[in-house]
Amino acid sequence: MTTLDPRPQTGAAPWIASNQAMWDARVPIHAESAWYDLAGFRAGAIALDDLELGGVGDVRGRTLLHLQCHLGLGTLSWARQGAQATGIDFSSAAIAAAQALAAELELPAQFQQAEISQCRLGRLFDICFTSWGVLMWLPDLAAWAQTIAAHLRPGGTFFLAEGHPHLFIWDDERDGTGYLPRNPYFRHSEPVTDREASTYVDMTVQLGHPQHRWNHPIGDVVTSLADAGLRIVELAEHARLPWRPLSWMIEDSDRPGWWRIENDPFPLSFTIKATKETSR
């Protein structure tokens, strides 16, 4: 089987710790934001979209592990759909917020603080799920895929929905002047660092923390999963995205809150469905 670029991913710990502090700082802002709409969630909303719901399918009575669960809205939504859901995230502030919300709403979900590459819960799940804005925070997709494989029962399902990695090339290019490349597409062991992070829920906020991100080409995502013993069932590319990284994107008239580019010239997001091979 093909292996990824063998360059060692050592030395990422300071970047991870720095990102962790940045995510902790985002949590209270996100909890108050219209983007996350906690009031709507408290009133019974499901914080999952049609790609996620359709891709994962019926979760009633099934165990589900949600990686990088943030405030827990996705995890708690899976619980509302009937799953026995567990969410993990490296942000202690996010996990505390998720646990408080679960207790308040009396939803049967568990949350645990864990960094993806280190996470070993010692349990197997029917489903492993992760979505939207997750991969660029991870320096090492091989470790990510091994964590997924380590928590799936043989025959279990993995589902990912994510922004398309080519968007990272001109990430934050907001002046509408065209397709100006700023960041690398291909794998880079050093992260792209922004010295002052803001947040997608309010770009006027300055968090007082840097952010460090790594882009992962689709080939690396698929190969890391295959190397970890997952069989790809479907890789699909989509011409829409649930946020607006480029100023020339237009709102999808069929789906409020989703964005596309006129005439749909290229994909903006992708989904992967995979199963854990039974022989490994």
Ligand X SMILES: C[S@@+](CC[C@H](N)C(=O)[O-])C[C@H]1O[C@@H](n2cnc3c(N)ncnc32)[C@H](O)[C@@H]1O
Residues that bind ligand X (CB under 6 A): 16, 19, 23, 68, 70-71, 74, 89-91, 94, 115-116, 131-134, 137-138
What's the full length of the chain, in residues?
A: 280
Pairing relation of β-strands 230-238 and 269-276? antiparallel
* Paired residues of 230 in beta bridges: 276
Provide the residue type at 101 as one letter: L
From the CB of 48, what's the least distance to ligand X, in Å? Answer: 9
From the CB of 175, what's the least distance to ligand X, in Å? Answer: 24
Structure-token match 């997952």, residue found: 230
From the CB of 1, what's the least distance to ligand X, in Å? Answer: 25
Looking at the Cβ atoms of 192 and 277, the one nearer to ligand X is 192
Is residue 46 within 8 Å of 77, Cβ to Cβ? Answer: yes
From the CB of 101, what's the least distance to ligand X, in Å? Answer: 12
Residue 267 vs residues 220, 244, 264: alpha-carbon distances, Å: 17, 13, 7
Task: Outline where the chain has alpha helix (H).
Answer: 13-31, 38-42, 50-56, 73-80, 92-105, 141-151, 218-227
Report the alpha-carbon distance of residue 138 to residue 42 in Å, rounded: 31
From the CB of 279, what's the least distance to ligand X, in Å? Answer: 29
Looking at the Cβ atoms of 91 and 146, the one nearer to ligand X is 91
Looking at the Cβ atoms of 15 and 274, the one nearer to ligand X is 15
Looking at the Cβ atoms of 94 and 141, the one nearer to ligand X is 94
Looking at the Cβ atoms of 170 and 200, the one nearer to ligand X is 200
Q: Look up residue 8 and give its two tokens.
A: 């060692």
The phi and psi torsions of 50 (rounded to 5 degrees) equal -65, -35
Looking at the Cβ atoms of 114 and 230, the one nearer to ligand X is 114
CB environment 238-270: b (16+ within 10 A), e (fewer) = bbbbbbbbbeebeeeeeeeebbbbeeeeebbbb
From the CB of 133, what's the least distance to ligand X, in Å? Answer: 3
